[in-house]
Chain A
């Protein structure tokens, strides 16, 4: 999955409609290993729908998405091991502690000896002190950081971040920026959405905007000048 010759994400002619509304029209792009694609767009422009399709949570009406050489339409459950997703909902159980939540997902992903990995992520995301607290006592920012830890737990080659900066304070956003750079340096393919043009440019190697269901490239930031 991490061969640089093959794009880790290949989205070809994807279309999606809800009733009469065509949300995505002929959307095509690729994301290589070590590349970050930032996606901008107004509310309801189809960003989340596109990310759900890439995450194998939804299917396009037309077109195909490949993760590495594997088309999602014919992929087995195992393909989901290659994707980590941060969505609008944190996908965390509020009655369980932060540590228990990560332990649950680690076991679902069949990780071997996950405790070291859980500790590493909780320390990295500054949650170690609260590891034994129930998630329902967490602030919005802490919950979002734990959701990021959950998404990266199985070290996926493809990372999908749907507005990961929502509810984060300045310090946490800096950490997130560092994390995106780290994922790039580790040859992960990252697709992220945000409402902040500034952050889209800082995070992304290419910046696209979804408008009227079509994907428009609006920027290719020069990393050396950022």
Chain B
């Protein structure tokens, strides 16, 4: 066994906004690297999304005259429920493996941990949505690949990930977190859900794009509010470490 040698001089980099962003990146990159090996979160979310789309396809196939009437709701319902599956693992896996304490022991702002986790979650959501949108095209023959719909989906996903990551942190150390998270999260997501469905319906119905802008503004305001509240609350959540 190697002898213990003198410790090399350990020096730290300077702080500042660049250091903050670097820490956000470090947390996100670690999550994505681990996820690429386990495929635990994206695999579950993707499988659920495609299966749910198929089930909705079977359920509405014979009864709905125009698929455009139901696809906006189906899209956002699937995103909502698939998201809960993924968000539960965001901090839950850290608690289960005892690594959350490692993050909290590091000289890192709690908000940097939150943002890093949110960034990783956003990537998972976008991957799943990239599979879901073509699946809906195949199953319902409805093309969601329209710039305003995709912009709404992106902004809606950012807001969802923002509030979802915060609530996942809040419930992570609760034994009933898997049931608690959706119970807390879904009511808060109602404005986002209504706006997302409203925006998608406007575009799929072929109405004027101007009618979609109010929905986009609501989603944008929701996002801004969510991240502002998250920054205020995130330190309190981990007050006791």
A residues near B (Cβ < 8 Å) are: 52, 55-59, 77-81, 83, 85, 87-96, 100, 104-105, 107-112, 116-117, 120, 123-126, 128, 134, 150, 153-155, 171, 175, 178-179, 182, 186
B residues near A (Cβ < 8 Å) are: 1-5, 7-8, 10-13, 15, 19, 22-23, 26-27, 30, 33-34, 37-38, 97-99, 101-110, 239-241
Choose one: B1, B10, B106, B110; the contact of A108 (CB below 8 Å): B106
Q: Decide if A111 touches B10 in the complex (CB within 8 Å).
A: yes
Choose one: A80, A87, A93, A124; the contact of B4 (CB below 8 Å): A124
Tell me if B's interface is mostly helix, strand, loop or mixed. Answer: loop
Q: Decide if B38 touches A95 in the complex (CB within 8 Å).
A: yes
Please report the C-alpha to C-alpha distance between residue A125 and residue B1 in the assembled complex, in whole angstroms: 7
11 interchain pairs, CB-CB under 8 A: A52-B241, A55-B105, A58-B240, A59-B239, A77-B108, A89-B97, A93-B30, A93-B99, A105-B106, A108-B107, A120-B5
The smallest beta-carbon distance between A147 and chain B, in angstroms, is: 9
Q: Decide if A59 touches B240 in the complex (CB within 8 Å).
A: yes
Measured between beta carbons, the chain B residues less than 8 angstroms from A186 are 7
The smallest beta-carbon distance between B210 and chain A, in angstroms, is: 47
Nearest B residue to A174, CB-CB: B1
Measured between beta carbons, the chain B residues less than 8 angstroms from A52 are 241
Q: Decide if A124 touches B97 in the complex (CB within 8 Å).
A: no
Do A78 and B107 contact each other (CB < 8 Å), given the known contacts A89-B97, A123-B2, A155-B7? Answer: yes
Choose one: A93, A105, A126, A134; the contact of B1 (CB below 8 Å): A126
Please report the C-alpha to C-alpha distance between residue A104 and residue B2 in the assembled complex, in whole angstroms: 24
Nearest B residue to A147, CB-CB: B102
Most buried by B among A81, A93, A95, A108: A108
Q: Decide if B10 touches A89 in the complex (CB within 8 Å).
A: no
Measured between beta carbons, the chain B residues less than 8 angstroms from A59 are 239-241
Nearest B residue to A123, CB-CB: B2
Measured between beta carbons, the chain B residues less than 8 angstroms from A96 are 30, 33-34, 37
Measured between beta carbons, the chain A residues less than 8 angstroms from B104 are 57
Q: Decide if B99 touches A92 in the complex (CB within 8 Å).
A: yes
